[in-house]
Amino acid sequence: MDKQRLVQTAQALVAEKKGILAADESSGTIKRRFDSINVESTEENRINYREMLFRTAGVSDFISGVILFDETIRQNGADGTPLVKILTDNGMIPGIKVDKGTVALPGAPDELVTEGLDGLRDRLNEYVKLGARFTKWRGVINISATTPTPYGISVDAHALARFAALSQEAGLVPIVEPEILRDGDHSIERSFEVTEETLREVFEQLAQQKVLLEGMLLKPSMVISGGSAAQRAEPEKVAEMTIECFKRVLPAAVPGVVFLSGGEPDDSVTSNLNAINQLAPNVDAPWQLSFSFGRSLQGAPLAAWAGKAENVEAATVAFFTRASLTSAARQGIYHKEKSAV
């Protein structure tokens, strides 16, 4: 493990003004995205769409790295150039999603556990050869009247820590993603409790497995109200409670947080990120507070593209615009009224 390289890569991923594009949709997810614009999810269409995003001129001013799916990291663009090389030539760092999705947790059918640890060491070594420099693994925590349980949290935290340790062994920066789902009508206070409990266990497991904190990133949910809550907290409250929660459990040694969007509407998640970054300097938050968004960055360009070659320019403008607005929120200078694409 080259500790210095891990630290440098982690810091580069949360460089000033920049965040990460999550383009690691599974085959099923990308099909649903394409279905929404009446485009068939063929390999050619998937390559064309992602290559369009990756080649967008100037977007590396706002996007530091891109998380890829297993299929994507192996593909070439229209002119035969590997998509990984297109990314690096355009100033972005390639990463790879390495988990294999969730299944019901034995003994706790209302909770999920993420699979993919079997054979992971060999897969990581292959991804290094394919050009990856960082990894991502998603654990899923659901809030309900009976969940999460300590058992469910501990199983997911243990898997996240094992993934992180194996990634660093291979020379890859792990992005540890314990997602607290927004589904439900729970209050922001309940979200705070679950987030604190989850992150406390995650960092206990990371410590036990000797993960280098300076060479990893955290991809958490913001502390928000449930998506169907009667009264949802405003961005200022989200910022206050998110940073308060992190101060309790998130070591200062971790260089950065790259928030997930978690299905929040574009304006909502961007406004929340903006409020967090406006508050952070005033409370001496020690971490870079950035983003790792998928749908929030891709919704507008996907709709503009609609699978048509003649729409590529409009789609890249839409992507550049969303990336620039998200970068503004990452700096605390986002203005909602200017956000229309």
DSSP secondary structure, 132-155, as one string: --EEEEEEEE--SSS---HHHHHH
Q: Which of 97, 219, 240, 264 is catalytic?
A: 219
> Residue ranges of the domains in the chain?
3-338
Nearest to 23 by CA among 189, 143, 136, 131: 136
Nearest to 64 by CA among 44, 36, 93, 23: 93
Q: What is the number of alpha carbons within 13 Å of residue 258 lying toward its C-beta? A: 32
pLDDT for the residue 338: 56
* Tokens (6 digits) for 323: 């990336």
Residue with tokens 């394919």: 130
pLDDT for the residue 340: 47
Backbone angles phi, psi at 223, to 5 degrees: -80, 105
pTM of the shown model: 0.96
306 residue type, one letter: A
Distance from chain centroid for Cα 338:
25
Residue range 235-283, pLDDT digits in tens = 999 999 999 999 999 999 999 999 999 989 999 999 999 999 999 999 9
Query: How many CB atoms lie under 10 A from the CB of residue 94?
Result: 24
236, 275 contact by CB (below 8 A): yes
177 given a catalytic annotation: yes
What does DSSP say about strands 108-114 and 63-68: parallel, antiparallel, or unpaired? unpaired
pLDDT for the residue 109: 84
Q: 3-338 domain in CATH 3.40.50.300?
A: no
pLDDT for the residue 336: 75
11, 255 contact by CB (below 8 A): yes
Residues of the chain with pLDDT under 50: 340-341
pLDDT for the residue 337: 60
110 residue type, one letter: D
193 given a catalytic annotation: no
Residue 296 to residue 287: CA distance in whole angstroms = 22
Residue 86 to residue 48: CA distance in whole angstroms = 13
Q: CB burial class (10 A; 0-12, 13-18, 19+) of residue 79?
A: exposed
Q: Which of 25, 51, 111, 177 is catalytic?
A: 177
Nearest to 246 by CA among 236, 237, 257, 261: 257
